[in-house]
Structure 1
Amino acid sequence: MFVLSTFVLGAVLMAFTLGAGPFEDVVGALKQGDTNGLSRYLDNNVEINMMGKSNSYSKAQAEIILKDFFSKNQVKSFELIHQGEATGGGSRFGIGNMTTSGGNYRTSFFLQKKGNNTVLDKLRFETK
């Protein structure tokens, strides 16, 4: 019994040490304007809405678009103001206010459970 409880405690501690999870990673990447951090979670096809123009892009295209956006809009701050989960726990979303060198944006993102992975399938940057 002692060995089992020690193993479970070790697994829980390791989970906390390795990272907080996809949702927290995406929030952290948005705070930093970190395209590589976001790219880790991008789905094969990603819907991106920037200033009212929405389109679906491949992962490679989405990386280029995000890199361009963050190079022109250095993030000064990102404050998460709302988050939630869809019933059934299959998806999560976050909404926040992003202040950049190029303006202020209401930023939304949507994470979807896909098999054993969690993917980022929608991003919105709306001018405030």
Structure 2
Amino acid sequence: MKRILFQALVFGWLMLISVAGQSQGEVIGSISGALRNASSRELSQYFGGTVEISINGDRQSYSATQAEFVMKDFFAKTAPSSFEIVHQGGSDGGVPYAVGKYKSKDAIYRVFVKMKSANGALRIDNMEFTKE
């Protein structure tokens, strides 16, 4: 009886981890699509209450609404020709992140997106665009 209970608990735990990982992948995929399509509106759906955005070292915290306008301006000035996720993972503390390559007509940027869980959903906490 104990063995069956233990197996059921392990199975349930593995299913929970699988669903959480799938959710993170879906969110990162949606963020990637928004960056690829230069859609500040789509991207803003994943912003937390405040978002720290850094563009070439100029780092500031914004409300979600302000961050949408900052990204709209960035996309207008540096429209993407492509965007791809190069790496994704999580810190030891369980903070999910993704690293990508954003190519525009004039420059290539390394993009770092750090997320946090808020009310059971993953939200963008920090975005860094660094020109290569």
Equivalent position to 2:123, from 119, 124, 127: 119
Residue 102 of structure 1: how far off its partner (Å): 3.8
* 8 Å contact kept, 2:97–2:114: yes
Query: What is the TM-score normalised by the length of structure 1?
Result: 0.78
Q: RMSD over aligned Cα, in angstroms?
A: 1.6
Q: Say whether the 8 Å CA contact 1:74–1:102 is kept in structure 2.
A: no
My pick for the range that moved more, 47-56 or 101-110, is: 101-110
- Structure 2 residue 74 is matched with structure 1 residue 65: no
Q: After TM superposition, which residue ranges in structure 1, 4 or more long, deviate above 2 angstroms? A: 86-89
How far apart are 1:122 and its partner, in Å?
A: 0.5
Gap regions ≥5 residues in structure 1:
1-15
What TM-score, normalized by structure 2, do the two folds share? 0.76
Does 2:92 align with 1:101? no
* 1:81-92 matched pairs, under 5 angstroms: 81-87=86-92, 89=94, 91-92=95-96
Kindly indicate which of the two structures has a greater share of residues assigned to helix: 2
Larger radius of gyration: 2
Aligned residue for 1:52?
Answer: 57
Alpha-carbon deviation of 1:86? 2.6
Between 42-51 and 31-40, the greater mean CA deviation after superposition: 31-40
Q: CA deviation at 1:67?
A: 0.3
